[in-house]
Amino acid sequence: MRVIVTRPLREAQRWVQDLTASGLQAQALPLIKVGPVDDTTAVVQAWQRLADYVGVMFVSGNAAEHFFASKKPLAPVFTAQAAIKTRAWATGPGTARALLRLGVAPDFLDAPSPDVAQFDSEALWQVVAPQVQPGTRVLIVRGADTLGSDPAGQGSGREWFAKRVAQAGAQVDFVVAYQRCAPDFHAPEAALAQAAATDGSVWLFSSSEAVANLQDLLPDQAWSGARALATHPRIAAAARKIGFLDVAESRPTLSDVVASLNSTL
């Protein structure tokens, strides 16, 4: 019984290791390819304007890592020692861990409580809403597809967050720090996906975009006999939309995913 991990390659490999250590059989099948933007001018300019923002929302660990790749080595930010008092906002524990690794001081990091029901933009807003006052500005660091735009159906959480910021009388800006695309799908990857559609494997989905890429990569594949575990209701809905009938939901932490998988298996 396999768990098919669909995150981008580096994250997928880490999840495979962690799931294997937890006694589960797991295999990576990345359904999103992540890389830097072709032109980092906008990211560099965002760093130069950082003091203008009361908070910077990072939509993912990838957003954090690619944004910080354009940071000047000696420019201290998100720390008590910095002249810039802008705060870093993370939607979940994975993003928060990435920001801490990148040098953000814990006292300058805001994220949903570890025991919150769901890690998403809505949960983050409950934490940071008091910081957003009329006349302030907020920056959202996100990714885009290779054409430079959000794929259809993506970004609903961050768009919801942006609307809350605007309703509070503040200005919200976006900057694209990385780009996403469908992965290279050759015969071995296609064979694994086709087998996992019917052999009882459990697909672990952490992104609606991964689900959409799977459908695009194998447009003629039927998924009614496949099983999935999704880490957010929106992702679960996307899996059901392309034909998955057996879809469970879990919080995205390793312990919750393992518990859900054990109960599913």
Beta bridge partners of 55: 87, 138
3-state secondary structure of 44: helix
Residue type, 169: G
Site of tokens 């392309």:
242
Type and span of the H or E element at 212: helix 208-217
How confident is the model at residue 118, as a pLDDT?
84
- Give the distance, in angstroms, between the CA of residue 112 and the centroid of all CA atoms in the same chain: 15
pLDDT at 185 over 90: yes
Q: How confident is the model at residue 17 (pLDDT cuts 50, 70, 90)?
A: very high
Classify residue 149 by burial, with Cβ atoms within 10 Å: 0-12, 13-18, 19+: exposed
Tell me the per-residue pLDDT of 124-171, one tens digit each, with 9 for 90 and over: 999 999 999 999 999 999 998 744 444 333 456 789 999 999 999 999
Q: Could you read off the pLDDT of 34-72 as tens digits, one per residue? A: 999 999 999 999 999 999 999 999 999 999 999 999 998
How would DSSP label each residue in 131-148? Answer: G--TT-EEEEEEEEETTS
Looking at residue 265, its pLDDT comes to: 62
Residue 53: left (phi > 0), alpha (psi -120 to 50), or beta?
A: beta
- pLDDT-derived band at 81 (thresholds 50, 70, 90) equals confident
In this prediction, residue 152 carries a pLDDT of 35
Length of the chain: 265
Instruction: Describe the crossing of helices 93-101 and 61-68 by its angle, rounded to 10 degrees.
Output: 20
What is the residue type of 193?
A
Domain locations in the chain as residue ranges: 2-31+186-264, 35-181
Class of domain 2-31+186-264: alpha beta
Beta strand 33-36 with 171-181 is: antiparallel
Q: Which pTM value belongs to this model?
A: 0.85
Average pLDDT taken over every residue of the chain: 92
- Percent of all residues in the chain with a pLDDT value above 90, rounded to a whole number: 85
First to last CA, the chain: 8
- Residues 86-137: tens digit of each pLDDT: 999 999 999 999 999 999 999 999 999 988 888 889 999 999 999 999 999 9
Does the structural domain 35-181 have CATH classification 3.40.50.300? no
